[in-house]
Amino acid sequence: MSGGGSDLWSRARAVIPGGVSSPVRAFRAVGGEPFFVARGEGAHLVATDGSRYVDWVQSWGASILGHAHPAVIEAVQRAAADGTSYGAPTAREVELAEAICARVPSVDKVRLVSSGTEAAATAVRLARGATGRPKLLKFAGCYHGHVDALLAEAGSGVATLGLPGSAGVPAATVADTVVAPYNAPASILDDVFANHGAELAAVLVEPVAANMGLVAPVDGFLDGLRRRCDEHGALLVLDEVITGFRLGLAGAQGRFGVRPDLTLLGKVVGGGLPLAAVGGRADLMGELAPDGPVYQAGTLSGNPLATAAGLAVLAQLDDAAFETLETTAVALADGLRDALAGADVPAQVTRVGTLVGVTFAPEVVRDYDAAQASDTTAYAAWFHALLDAGVFVAPSAFETLFPSLAHTPSEIERTVDASARVAAAGLAAASLSSRG
């Protein structure tokens, strides 16, 4: 299946840098040309040439109900009829903030923004303003959007393109960023805090790393960060842009029993529209303008269409919905594990709750170094074999599969069968030369 994008691809490259609005969409990590989407339908995407794909990307996790869910479409249409943006308060932004605070115990107050990057940038400024300290601790392979100070050893597209950070980021901008290995042992964390603890404003971490494949926290890692932050007066910021309302109503912090000072939310909470949030303790959130001295603003923050979509999605998510999602994730992970067991390249299929990851490596990945050492050529061969069979997974070895409530056993079977065929054919021998 080609997706019929060649003409659009030529036109796009003429007027858009790299032909895409976000780098990973260009397929450079896997070869070939991207297809162009005409519409989404539940568990599927339909390309501009009519090709139909089972979609495990689901807008990078935002579409937890599946594409074009009737409740979301109705809510957005109803909101749009009243106007698309006002630059003034609305009832729905209050209702969405109330819904978030009611579901996430660590969040007393929340500020709505337009992207995960904006949420991370706000959290960094807020942490520095509240503590009066300059330094940040992040973990290699964790991606917190394209905030200058947080791109050091980031995952996601930065890992996909093999970049250490980004051009255009001055050395001074990252001088106060400390980077440690994800799942670092206690001895390393003790050294980091001994050397930098007095100057640390915040520790930012993905509670489940989902931008270097899918990497679960080892026992004690998150609890150890909470304890050390308390001992040294730093704020713990959990980036739940991916895991928030994905691993349960209280996200990863509810699943692992860790209470952060600040939480970043995105994707699911916006119902597929541009919306994200930063929330936390009332005293910290009170440092934000207009109540406090830490400035943050946004013309489209609390957008009425996005808040309508977010509320519609959260209304659909209850314990039964997450049980269904986890059942789907278990079936997908187990099926892929069996399908790839006989491949000539070792494959690791991981699952954390409702998230699934596939990494071609000899052992389960626990950190960024191991993720970068994985066989990305084998991943690309698997990606294209699935795409040819009408199944779309992330065009990057460092991303995650996102089961939705729209996926059924039929979509799982199609994905597993295609994986079994490519495993039998030989991933190591697959050539990408024809992909361009």
Q: Which residues are catalytic?
A: 143, 239, 267
CB 383 within 8 A of CB 395: yes
Strands 262-265 and 276-280 come out as antiparallel
Give the per-residue SS3 of 62-101: CCCCCECCHHHHHHHHHHHCCCCCCCCCCHHHHHHHHHHH
CA geometry: angle at 413 spanning 33 and 51, to 5°? 35
Report which of 155, 149, 151, 137 is spatially closest to residue 367, judged by C-alpha positions: 155
Cα 421 off chain centre by: 29
> Cis omega before residue 290 (within 30°)?
yes
Q: Which residues pair with 202 in a beta bridge?
A: 136, 235
CA-CA distances (angstroms) from residue 419 to 6, 354, 415?
26, 20, 6
Characterize the bridge pairing of strands 355-359 and 348-352. Answer: antiparallel
